[in-house]
Amino acid sequence: MQKLTELNHKAGYELLAETLDTQGISIEKVKDALKNQKIETASWAFANSGTRFKAFPHPGAATTTRQKIDDAATVHRLTGVTPTVALHIPWDVPEDGDYVAMRQYANDRGIQLGTINSNVFQDNAYRLGSVSNPNSSTRVMALDHILECCNIMTKVHSDNLKLWFADGTNYPGQDGLRDRKHRMEDALKTVYAQLPEGARMLLEYKFYEPAFYSTDVPDWGTAYGMTLKLGEKAQVVVDLGHHAQAVNIEQIVSFLLDEGKLGGFDFNDRKYGDDDLMVGSVNPYQLFLIYHELVGAEYSDHPVASRNARQVAYMLDQCHNIEGKIGAIIYSVMNCQEIYAKALLVQGDKLAQAQTAGEVLEAHRLITDAYRIDVRPLVAQVREEMGLAVDPLAAYRSSGYEEKIQKDRGVAATKGGFQ
């Protein structure tokens, strides 16, 4: 991006605008879409994190929720497209217990508190599961926590409750699989009835880890089936790391959009398992194909898919274990902006014609040609028009913020996992 700044992005932008004009693509429409892009950051990504073996402390990493809010506000100030930060309870319980004051603290810094994530996997009582646990008292404990999250949503003005369950079994015969399904569905039904007015329940899935024989919500089909029973306010969250190798995620996205059941994304990337690497760092082409499905649905004539595409909640759910936190998050946002821009440049009319005519190679070429376009001048122009630095990462590095928080916060002690 630094080279782009040195070479003057204006020339690249003007050339691209001329090319798009000959293709019948409105550059202003594309820029408007990019300016309205919204990506939620996650509070825990600003803190130290690691594996069960070790968390490597990073100087200046946030240790309090207010510090996480400060960092999230810095990302938004530099990128212009991250106006909300998701909270994880109890990791983000305010020091004074005052959620209203914490909401105001965020608002004063130019952002809002976003999705509320429950935590029903870290307590010792959840060894055999939370809402699917064979012990009724543990199920009540887990359900009470999730219902408290619903109460927190009203205090912080959150519209989304995200649920991920580590519930499952490690050995055949450990528990009844249908019994666990029934317990899960009963709990979700109770939570659904207690959602705040206008709020959604976003159900996440994961096919393995930490349970290694069976997971109670292992895949998108299970999550879809459960949310279908609950109603329109329940939708599915797609985490890009929560799939088996070679799964066609964009096809899952397409199906859920068509059913009006795609609630949100947890953006990250991976090479093997659920690695939680920076989004677009390993397989940017897959991310492009996912965005292509989202853009296609949004601008389609299908009322359900179009409406659903406009309601999708996008969040960065990543662990920055060996790199810095804030710079990595800014770079991830930049990756999403560029990939989204590429998806907006697909010639939809020509693609539809090629598909209808069975022109396989031409249809494929139209997709890959859009992916190969260098959109950095376009995104830089959008940032400039928004009153932002054309290179947010360079702007962060020169801002002095990193040096300031390293001096003020120091290095926090760590063990493993999230701190």
**Residue 312 lies inside a defined structural domain of this protein:** yes
The boundaries of the domain holding residue 233 are 38-345
According to the model, what pLDDT value does residue 7 have? 56
Give residues with Cβ within 8 angstroms of 225, minimum separation 6: none
- Mean pLDDT estimate for the chain: 95
**Residue 77 lies inside a defined structural domain of this protein:** yes
The answer to whether the peptide bond before residue 90 is cis (omega within 30 degrees of 0) is yes
Count the helices and strands in the chain (H runs, E runs): 17, 10
CB 285 within 8 A of CB 294: no
d(CA 233, CA 199): 7
Q: Does the structure show a pLDDT above 70 at 104?
A: yes
- Structure token digits, residue 301: 């004539």
Claim: this prediction has a pTM higher than 0.85 = yes
CATH code assigned at 304: 3.20.20.150
**Residue 59 lies inside a defined structural domain of this protein:** yes
**DSSP category for residue 128:** G
**Residue 113 lies inside a defined structural domain of this protein:** yes
**Residue 394 lies inside a defined structural domain of this protein:** no
**DSSP category for residue 419:** -
- Categorize the per-residue pLDDT at 417 as very low, low, confident or very high, splitting at 50, 70 and 90: low
**Residue 171 lies inside a defined structural domain of this protein:** yes
Cα dihedral 344/345/350/353 (nearest 10): -30
Backbone φ, ψ for residue 276 (5° rounding): 55, 40
**Residue 121 lies inside a defined structural domain of this protein:** yes
- Categorize the per-residue pLDDT at 277 as very low, low, confident or very high, splitting at 50, 70 and 90: very high
Instruction: Give the CA distances from residue 330 to residues 109, 187, 288, 385, in Å, rounded to whole numbers and listed in that order.
Output: 17, 37, 19, 19
**Residue 389 lies inside a defined structural domain of this protein:** no
How many structural domains compose the chain?
A: 1
Backbone φ, ψ for residue 394 (5° rounding): -65, -40
Any idea which of 271-275, 329-333, 357-361 has the lowest mean pLDDT? Answer: 271-275
